[in-house]
């Protein structure tokens, strides 16, 4: 397992991930620089919010929105495609105050993370599956054509997976966690799921407690990896519970959860977490994990 930490700071903290598991051949493009640039741009989008005194929720949404707009990452435009060649997108947000919203199998929202936030703030629900164009319109979003999400790179990747030339990617997800100047935390996660997955399959990203969780003065978490294992192990909540009830520190809670709920299931993935004190932990048991983390405008980046 690899783990990176950033020490607590009196000011804001921000971390984001662009998926665990390492780059597949289809998505290497021109190398690591594009991934680093995309992570840096997304980090700075969130950091601008925090530096201006904005909320952790606004910051994580800004970072994830930037990653959804970047076709390198498996969320929004450029998301992984189902076995029938379509994009079905999942996203969630959660505040440390206990509010949460999510969408699953979204087909029309340009930025699913923003629609998930609308579910949280503008409806009485926590999760909407397959929100239609009318739902978007009612909440002030302009639907996009389904072809918007599909890129030639992802189509080629799907062909190779269906032909058996490469294994299906299981680790494509983006997410962000933040602690703002007031000490509030929030988390957001977004994904296109697994390459070649069955239509209608939903992973952990929109499931509160699995792929996302936040509680003020405790932790905010976003995960990426084998979604079924994250759901079965309730990974995000398990980390929070170890801190809250067993008095584990953040690095210990993350390590023990990954070892128990992923490693013992023979699954891989990773998490980003920010504690109530601003400490950041990024950890994964997969071959690699894209991440950016820091307590200032210049983050540490791993690709």
CA angle 198, 196, 273 (to 5 degrees): 90
CA angle 131, 137, 143 (to 5 degrees): 70
Of 165, 172, 137, give the one whose Cα is nearest residue 35. 172
CA distance 95 to 40: 23
CA distance 72 to 35: 7
Reduce the secondary structure of 98-153 to three states and give it as a string: CCEEEEEEECCCCCHHHHHHHHHHHCCCCEEECCCHHHHHHCCCCCCCHHHHCCHH
First vs last C-alpha separation in the chain: 16
* Active-site pick, 28, 84, 95, 173: 173
3-state secondary structure of 157: helix
* R_g over Cα of the chain: 17
CA distances in angstroms from 288 to 17, 38, 268, listed in the order given: 11, 16, 10
Q: Is 173 annotated as catalytic? A: yes
Is 252 in contact with 212 (CB distance < 8 Å)?
no
CA distance 101 to 238: 20
Phi, psi of 78 (to 5 degrees): 90, 15
Hey, which residues are catalytic here? 173
């Amino acid at each position: 397992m690899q783990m990176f930490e950033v020490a607590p700071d009196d000011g804001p903290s921000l971390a984001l991930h662009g998926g665990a598991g390492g780059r597949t051949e289809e998505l290497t493009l021109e190398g690591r620089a594009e991934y680093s640039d995309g992570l840096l741009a997304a980090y700075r989008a969130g950091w601008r919010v925090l530096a201006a005194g904005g909320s952790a929720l606004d910051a994580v949404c800004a970072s994830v929105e930037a990653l959804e707009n970047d076709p390198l990452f498996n969320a929004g435009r450029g998301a992984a495609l189902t076995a029938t060649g379509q994009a079905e997108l999942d996203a969630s947000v959660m505040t440390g105050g206990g509010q949460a919203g999510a969408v699953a199998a979204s087909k029309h929202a340009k930025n699913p993370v923003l629609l998930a936030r609308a579910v949280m703030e503008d409806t009485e629900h926590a999760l909407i599956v397959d929100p239609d164009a009318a739902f978007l319109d009612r909440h002030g979003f302009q639907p996009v054509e389904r072809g918007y999400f599909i890129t030639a790179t992802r189509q080629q990747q799907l062909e190779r997976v269906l032909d058996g030339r490469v294994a299906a990617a299981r680790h494509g997800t983006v997410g962000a966690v933040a602690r703002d100047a007031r000490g509030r935390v929030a988390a957001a996660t977004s994904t296109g799921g697994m390459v070649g997955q069955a239509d209608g399959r939903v992973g952990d990203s929109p499931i509160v407690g699995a792929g996302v969780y936040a509680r003020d003065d405790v932790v905010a978490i976003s995960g990426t990896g084998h979604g079924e294992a994250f759901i079965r192990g309730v990974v995000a909540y398990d980390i929070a519970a170890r801190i809250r009830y067993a008095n584990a520190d953040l690095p210990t809670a993350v390590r023990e959860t990954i070892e128990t709920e992923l490693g013992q299931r023979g699954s891989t993935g990773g998490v980003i977490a920010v504690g109530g004190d601003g400490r950041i932990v990024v950890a994964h048991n997969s071959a690699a994990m894209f991440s950016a983390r820091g307590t200032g405008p210049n983050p540490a980046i791993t690709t």
